Chain A
């Protein structure tokens, strides 16, 4: 998508004016604020327009409002934490045992892989579904608490090992 490159260069200049989506609803908005909004809409393509949309922005997480590097950072942090957490976990032990029993590693991997892609899709989908129904602040607290809980579970594993 060629417009993404265009966007990432403009987003580095503008985010301070564009970020607080609720301020566009504020009746006591300053003239400098609305001026900067005009500048934003002047420079921005439709991707930034959607980012300033006060309704759409907090309700539905949008890929289009992120630069490549931000998305890559999310991908990497997700990948490494989950990969490290899953190493030596019971799913890995299950696939390992089934491979040893059947001597058909690729069939076991195909079945396990399809199941893992499906469960991660379901997880992200449930998260997205919740994001539309819970206030962003509350959601962040809940998500943070969940991640802390996972961290505690892993630490418990470390103690048990």
Chain B
């Protein structure tokens, strides 16, 4: 077991992820969603799968997928969640919305 490599990859990824957009998303979703566990599991699973693909496929991932469309799709996803949060007033059926009294 190469502990040096393990520690190195841990520290490198930890520092590069700290304050990155996925962590900001986790803060925003964790604060505004009603199920912390679902947000944590979703975030962790997504990040694990993304780095797993990075390890397994190597540089192939950039060639396999049209990165522009992938990023655009993610941008649309975040925008939709933002709009649902900002315009959710009174619509407490939305699972992403906090319970707020309609005024």
Residues of chain A touching chain B, judged by Cβ–Cβ distance below 8 Å, are 15, 19-23, 57-58, 61-63, 65-66, 70-96, 98-100, 102, 104-128, 130-131, 134, 136-137, 139-155, 157-158, 161
- How far apart are the CA atoms of A158 and B78 in the complex, in Å? 14
Q: Count contacts between A and B, CB distance < 8 Å.
A: 350
Q: A123-B24, A148-B82, A161-B67 are in contact. List 12 more A-B contacts (CB 8 A).
A: A81-B78, A94-B13, A102-B2, A111-B9, A112-B10, A115-B14, A116-B51, A119-B14, A122-B23, A140-B85, A150-B25, A158-B75
In the complex the two chains form, is A127's CB within 8 Å of B81's CB?
no
In the complex the two chains form, is A87's CB within 8 Å of B38's CB?
no
Per the CB 8 Å criterion, the residue count for chain B at the interface is: 85
- How far apart are the CA atoms of A85 and B17 in the complex, in Å? 13
In the complex the two chains form, is A117's CB within 8 Å of B58's CB?
no
With a CB–CB cut-off of 8 A, which chain B residues contact A79? 42-43, 45-46
- How far apart are the CA atoms of A130 and B27 in the complex, in Å? 9
In the complex the two chains form, is A86's CB within 8 Å of B22's CB?
yes
In the complex the two chains form, is B48's CB within 8 Å of A82's CB?
no
- A154: which of B71, B92, B100 is its contact (CB, 8 Å)? B71
Given A98-B8, A111-B6: A83 touches B46 (CB 8 Å cut-off): yes
A98, chain B: closest CB distance, angstroms: 5
- B22: which of A74, A75, A80, A120 is its contact (CB, 8 Å)? A120
In the complex the two chains form, is A96's CB within 8 Å of B42's CB?
no
Interface residues of A: mostly helix, strand, loop or mixed? helix
Given A87-B70, A158-B68: A58 touches B85 (CB 8 Å cut-off): no
- B75: which of A61, A141, A155 is its contact (CB, 8 Å)? A155
Closest A residue to B42 by CB, please name it: A78
With a CB–CB cut-off of 8 A, which chain B residues contact A161? 67-68, 71
Given A74-B42, A86-B22: A124 touches B30 (CB 8 Å cut-off): yes
Given A108-B5, A111-B13, A120-B23: A143 touches B71 (CB 8 Å cut-off): no
In the complex the two chains form, is B38's CB within 8 Å of A94's CB?
no
With a CB–CB cut-off of 8 A, which chain B residues contact A77? 42, 77, 81, 96
CB-based closest 4 A-B pairs: A127-B30, A123-B26, A78-B42, A111-B9
